[in-house]
Chain A
Amino acid sequence: MVAPGQQSANPHRPSEILDTLKRLGFGVAIAVPDSWLGEILVRIEQEPAIKLVRATHEEEALAIACGTRLGGLRTAMFVQNAGLLSMGAGMVSLAQRYQFPLLMLVSYRGTIEDPVFYHAPKGRVTEPVLKGIGLAYALADRNRPIGPQVERAATYAEEASCPFALLLSQEDVQW
């Protein structure tokens, strides 16, 4: 593990995310597009060990992810934070109620780092909503390697038997 403040061995953070998922044995990724996520999803699609499923809506993606995890596959989700806002009912009544461990890798739009102004309303309410629905989450630290952060998020999901959302910046996830 790289100590805080040091550079990762792989400074390209999106490829470090992908390498970490492969190393941890993730077998499937369920995704709904966001412009920051576009290329990493294409890269996942090219990986023989990880199946990519493109869903039409984030709550649907959440249910597909519960099904793949129920069937024994370690499962990651790639969604924008807008999707966290729209999947609330399924989160509490399915994923949390049945205690499905899911790693949610979330493009965190609408922060002050985001140049696209219309995402701001979503950025402003994302963390209060996550706290409100009791979804465990963390903000990725851009000054530390991203791979160990993804691994800790995945570990938390499994060992606490719940979904865990890691909120990612543009440089974390845009290839």
Chain B
Amino acid sequence: MVKAIRPGRADYYQVLADTLPQHALVVTALGNASYLWAAMHHRPENFYFEDAMGLALPLALGLAIAQPARPVVVVEGDGAVLMHMGALVTVGAVAPGNLTVLLIQNGVHAASGGQALTNAKLDLAALARAAGIAGAQNVTTPEALAAAMGAPSDGAGARCLVLSTNPDPEVVRPPIAFDPVLTKHRFMSAIGAPRYVPTMFGGGRLQHD
């Protein structure tokens, strides 16, 4: 739930940077979710959204399915999850034990300048639990996030932590180019994803080097 006095996104991001397992993969939603994370903890295993609001969570679900041996963390916003609430149901149904959903609840559409949400006061953790993510919980302090990130996963399904956060409508300038194809290739190279060998070279298949 949104509290009157809330930590900033950077406070939670510092905890994430400090607790992130080395082989973890991180997907960040559009706007400051990506820009600030790039400024604070850029690494090849980050996949940055620039647009496509509401689709970071389902993309991260697909990534968690394809990379079951790696922890996958996704930072999604409250406005974004309201746009594609069905993705919570799919995450609940697939129940990937390697997926952690960090849901920034700042009560506004921060990426579009702080415009009002349809409903800023929803209990998103209760919503996630109803969608099948059993351990979803509200988090109101960076210390509580650190404790939750440090707790071992029970492997029974995705974790969902709803982070009560102060809005940050001022756009952070990212320190790197946000070329989408570069982002994708850098990420896939970092995780050792198989490459497609074209038909004319005797391939037509995905192959590991």
Which of A27, A65, A67, A74 neighbours the largest number of chain B CB atoms within 10 Å of its CB? A67
Within 8 A of A (CB), among B89-134: 89-90, 93-94
The distance from the CB of B92 to the nearest CB of chain A, in whole angstroms, is 11
In the bound complex, residues from chain A placing their C-beta under 8 Å from that of B184 are 70, 98-100
Tell me if B6 is interfacial: C-beta within 8 Å of chain A: no
8 closest residue pairs by CB, A with B: A67-B62, A71-B66, A56-B86, A72-B193, A63-B55, A63-B58, A67-B59, A94-B52
Task: Confirm or deny: B180 has a beta carbon within 8 angstroms of a beta carbon on chain A.
Answer: yes
CA–CA, A169 and B67, complex, Å: 34
17 new A-B pairs (CB below 8 Å) besides A61-B58, A63-B87, A67-B63?
A: A51-B65, A53-B65, A56-B86, A57-B84, A62-B55, A64-B58, A64-B59, A64-B61, A66-B59, A69-B66, A72-B193, A73-B66, A90-B55, A93-B51, A155-B199, A158-B196, A159-B199
Number of A-B residue pairs at CB separation under 8 A: 131
Determine whether B16 belongs to the interface, using a CB cutoff of 8 Å to chain A: no
15 chain-A/chain-B pairs, Cβ below 8 angstroms: A28-B66, A51-B65, A56-B89, A63-B62, A63-B87, A66-B55, A67-B62, A70-B47, A70-B59, A71-B67, A72-B191, A74-B206, A90-B52, A94-B51, A99-B181
B148 at interface, CB cutoff 8 A: no
How far is A74 from B194 in the complex, measured between Cα atoms in Å?
10
Docked complex Cα distance between A24 and B205 (Å): 7
Q: Bound complex: CA of A61 vs CA of B56, how far in Å?
A: 12
Q: CA separation between A2 and B152, bound complex, in Å?
A: 54
Out of A62, A74, A97, name the residue touching B51 (CB < 8 Å).
A97
Residues of A103-156 whose CB lies within 8 A of B: 155
Residue among A30, A69, A100, A101 having the largest count of chain B Cβ atoms under 10 Å: A69
Nearest Cβ distance between residue A155 and chain B, in whole angstroms? 6
Which residue of A has the minimal Cβ distance to B85?
Answer: A56
- A98/B86 in contact, CB under 8 A: no
- Chain B residue with the shortest CB-CB distance to A97: B180
